């Protein structure tokens, strides 16, 4: 895992994201201490544990007259 100071990470953020998406986590430091790690993640709402959230939802139309 490569480490970048925050100012360098800010200047090359899109490159760091691309590397993370390729499976290579990127560490960002602030004041020489680890601040964040950029890596591929999966939202827990889009996992087999929560199957209801994986379904498309239908929304009712909003009335054109405003609030009632």
Beta-bridged to residue 31, according to DSSP, are none
Domains of the chain: 2-42 (3.40.1620.10)
Using CA atoms, how far apart are residues 7 and 28, in angstroms rounded to an integer? Answer: 9
pLDDT tens, 14-53? 999 999 989 899 999 999 999 989 888 765 555 555 555 5
Residue 1 has pLDDT above 70, yes or no: yes
Q: What is the pTM of this model?
A: 0.57
User: 26-30 and 33-38: which strand pairing?
Assistant: antiparallel
């Amino acid at each position: 895992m490569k480490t970048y100071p925050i100012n360098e990470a800010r200047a090359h953020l899109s490159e760091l994201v691309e590397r993370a998406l390729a499976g290579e986590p990127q560490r960002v430091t602030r004041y020489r201490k680890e601040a964040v790690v950029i890596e591929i993640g999966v939202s827990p709402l889009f996992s087999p544990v929560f199957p209801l959230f994986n379904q498309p939802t239908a929304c009712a139309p909003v009335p054109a007259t405003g609030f009632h």
